[in-house]
Amino acid sequence: MVNKMANTTLKTWIVKVESNPNFCGEGAGGAQFAQGEAKITSERLANWFKEHKGYKVTEENAEPKTIDKMTVAELKAYAKEKGIDLGEAKTKEEILAKVAAE
Q: How confident is the model at residue 16 (pLDDT cuts 50, 70, 90)?
A: very high
Grouping H, G, I as helix, E, B as strand and the rest as coil, residue 38 is: strand
Evaluate if residue 1 carries a pLDDT over 60.
Answer: no
| CA separation for the pair 35, 23 (Å, rounded) | 5
- Of 73 and 4, the structure prediction assigns the larger pLDDT to 73
pTM higher than 0.85: no
pLDDT at res. 45: 93
Distance from the Cα of residue 10 to its chain's centroid: 7
Q: How confident is the model at residue 42 (pLDDT cuts 50, 70, 90)?
A: confident
Evaluate if residue 11 carries a pLDDT over 70.
Answer: yes
| CA-to-CA separations, 73 to 50, 51, 78, in angstroms, rounded | 24, 26, 9
pLDDT at res. 4: 45
Half-sphere exposure of 102 toward its Cβ, with a 13 Å CA cutoff?
15
| CA separation for the pair 98, 19 (Å, rounded) | 41
Closest CA to 4 of 67, 60, 93, 52: 67
Percent of the chain clearing pLDDT 90 (strictly above)? 47
